[in-house]
Amino acid sequence: MTKEKGKLVLYTGCSGVGKGTIMKELLKRDPSIRLSVSNTTRKPREGEIDGVHYNFVSREDFIRLADADGYIEYAEYCENLYGTPKRHVEELLCQGFNVFLEIEVKGGLQVMEKYPDVLSIFILPPSLEELERRLRGRGTEAEEVILSRLAEAENELKIAEKYKYRVINDELDKAVDEVLEILHKHA
Ligand code: 5GP
């Protein structure tokens, strides 16, 4: 690993767009990439591991760290808090890794403001209809959660314009290649 500081990458996409699947491939294909592990007050889904997928914390603990200025950004999304711990990301960047923040748009806007040089990439669905099909197909959320995530998606798509790059996740391999190409142009 080089001693140079890594690149901070803001990586956003609507719920169900397949950004997690793309991320898994990116991690397999490029050892310079690390995914930041966020804190969240959401309950773990089946198969999610504390400290790996998220740090699952109480609202009280979340707010304590926020008050101590311990987050690069944080936001409320569908009634849960999500935040990027500052220290964790700084350590990875100093070790020379390119650090991806897989976060939603409100947090994304905070990151763009604080770090104007951030490499911002938004993953788009081929269409809203396809997004709905994927969200339902995933089968991890209740109907009302699906509806609330779809409503969020419409707002999020408007903010995609502010990102430096937009990648459509139509075919997985193509989307992964595109993200890697963007990264290698800048890192
Ligand atoms: P999920 O509940 O599906 O894991 O995540 C819901 C949304 O929160 C996704 O768009 C995800 O990218 C976003 N998210 C995950 N971690 C963070 C974070 O640390 N900060 C912000 N602002 N959003 C996050």
Q: What is the 3-state secondary structure (H, E, C) of the chain?
A: CCCCCCCEEEEEECCCCCHHHHHHHHHHHCCCEEECCCEECCCCCCCCCECCCEEECCHHHHHHHHHCCCEEEEEEECCEEEEEEHHHHHHHHHCCCEEEEECCHHHHHHHHHHCCCCEEEEEECCCHHHHHHHHHHHCCCCHHHHHHHHHHHHHHHHHHHHCCEEEECCCHHHHHHHHHHHHHHHC
CA of 173 to the centre of ligand 1 (A): 23
Mean pLDDT over each residue of the chain, to the nearest integer: 95
Q: Which of 57-66, 128-137, 170-179 has the lowest mean pLDDT?
A: 128-137
Atom 20 of ligand 1 has which residue's CA nearest to it?
83
Mutational pocket test of ligand 1: of 103, 113, 157, the residue with most ligand atoms within 8 Å of the beta carbon:
103
**Using a 6 Å CB cutoff, which residues line ligand 1?**
15, 38, 42, 73-75, 77, 82-84, 102-104, 106-107
- Counting from 1 in the atom list of ligand 1, the atom nearest the Cα of 54 is 16
Residue 154: CA atoms inside 13 Å, Cβ hemisphere, count? 7
CA of 184 to the centre of ligand 1 (A): 25
Instruction: State which amino acid sits at residue 30.
Output: D
Number of C-beta neighbours around residue 125 at 10 A: 22
Q: What is the C-alpha to C-alpha distance for residues 111 and 103, in angstroms, rounded to an integer? A: 10
- Is this structure's pTM higher than 0.75? yes
What are the pLDDT digits (tens) for 160-179? Answer: 999 999 999 999 999 999 99
For 119, residues 6+ apart whose C-beta sits below 8 A from its C-beta are: 7, 8, 9, 10, 164, 165, 182, 183, 186, 187
Q: Which of 144, 143, 146 is nearest to 132 (CA)?
A: 146
The whole-number pLDDT of residue 171 equals 96
Mutational pocket test of ligand 1: of 104, 105, 112, the residue with most ligand atoms within 8 Å of the beta carbon:
104
Atom 10 of ligand 1 has which residue's CA nearest to it?
104
Q: Which of 77-91, 125-139, 172-186 has the lowest mean pLDDT?
A: 125-139
The whole-number pLDDT of residue 15 equals 85
Q: What is the mean pLDDT of residues 74-97?
A: 96
- Counting from 1 in the atom list of ligand 1, the atom nearest the Cα of 80 is 2
CA of 30 to the centre of ligand 1 (A): 22
CA of 119 to the centre of ligand 1 (A): 18
For 27, the token pair is 């991690």
Percent of the chain with pLDDT over 70: 98
Number of C-beta neighbours around residue 38 at 10 A: 25
Atom 12 of ligand 1 has which residue's CA nearest to it?
103
Q: What is the C-alpha to C-alpha distance for residues 139 and 73, in angstroms, rounded to an integer? A: 29
